[in-house]
Chain A
């Protein structure tokens, strides 16, 4: 590891140590935040409990399904919009402004449509996660250099072969960015839904702990969430970095 990596580790460790010290010396009250070490202890204890594990599994499955639908659906929609310029012109401002629509207001609608279970959570998660995938799919397809498709034409490739072997690989960096956004927003949508609707899962567990003023349990669960999302993001980032290296940041 070089100086940059060591400094990074030092910054992170230093920050955590600072919080730990502030908690231990009473500058931060346990009512507000418990010490990182206490969070870790709580986390270990929680993971032993079968109902906590059941909650995690519930949430994990929800997120997985949501990401799958967001990525597949977002990709398909992006391809269609890229192909049909008229539709794209009309839908673009809608996509650009969708960030501001507080999707959770549609939870009651989703409950009526899908019932009070995981599917209303997944529906909201998809509404949040799909937009990033659509926008990045369109962007990625836009940026495929024309000379690549001309090269495919010179090889007398069929449209299907051109799409699979040239256009999609060329668009991959942007598609990966779309997947990254889909993952982040899917997690947000599912957890927030579980939090508000108190169906089951990690979100509900956090809400219960918060309402019961059980900071130990709450921060333990938040730590689980933090570690899980960071691990996923680091994995995706590693994939992205590898691609940047091969492509030379092109």
Chain B
């Protein structure tokens, strides 16, 4: 078995369409903050899209909007042709930046959590959990508790929990931020493997230029707050890539292109933070 979802939408069909997404909220002093300012993106099923931008540019807000957790104050969002408005649609999985593994459950119970909520049949749950654990290299730790694992392993538990439900859209908010560079590259390879296996659309939020350059089909470069896409880069990578593509000249070009846009806004963000 594999983890590809049984949806009729094959690769290439429209998956996620966002037009004119903007978002404002009131901060605690009552002032209005414009976090996002006109985001447009159209993803097809099976695309790997990275979002990169300086700190505080609204990347995480964007992800929560795409997930259906938050309704944007302006703009339209459609997932597989159906409008999304502040309710989480079926078929979307999210991996958050913070460790979301539940400390009171074993690794296996963590992974099975979503399936149990969805009232899947017990033997189906057992089969899918087993497969997901093996896929993510967690088989030996099934009976452990997250506290006994390293940060990277715990993030794998979160990923396993997400993919066991066969999501058609996977959103990841800097999932590897807490890991060291080499572990990140290894996890990047696993992510690519997962992506090919499930045939899902992936949106990856990152602030690592390497990650964006190496993993994506397209990269959205965001400006500082209020965030919008200053540019969208096409990587042109083949589908069966892995982390060794890092040495490809194309990656250096992409990194240079991203940094040309981001350098100023990153410096600006640091100054603003210290103001």
A contacts, CB < 8 Å to B:
145, 147-148, 150-151, 153-157, 161, 165-166, 169-170, 172, 246-250
Contact = CB atoms under 8 A, between A and B. Distances in A.
Nearest to A244: B147
A248 B145 CA distance: 9
A150 B147 contact: no
B89 to A, nearest CB: 9
Which 6 A/B pairs are nearest by Cβ-Cβ distance? A248-B147, A147-B98, A247-B103, A147-B100, A169-B104, A151-B100
Given A151-B96, A154-B92, A166 B117 contact: no
B96 A246 contact: no
B227 interface: no
Contacts of B93: 154
Contacts of A153: 69, 88
A150 B96 contact: yes
A157 B148 CA distance: 27
Most buried by A among B92, B96, B104: B104
A247 B145 contact: yes
Contacts of A157: 117
Given A166-B102, A247-B103, A248-B148, 10 more contacts: A148-B102, A150-B69, A151-B100, A153-B69, A155-B114, A157-B117, A170-B103, A248-B145, A249-B147, A250-B103
Interface in B74-99: 88, 90, 92-94, 96, 98-99
Given A154-B67, A170-B102, A247 B88 contact: no
Contacts of A156: 88, 90, 117
Interface in B145-190: 145-148
B88 A246 contact: no
Contacts of B67: 154
B113 interface: yes
Nearest to A166: B102
Given A246-B145, A247-B145, A172 B88 contact: no
Contacts of B98: 145, 147
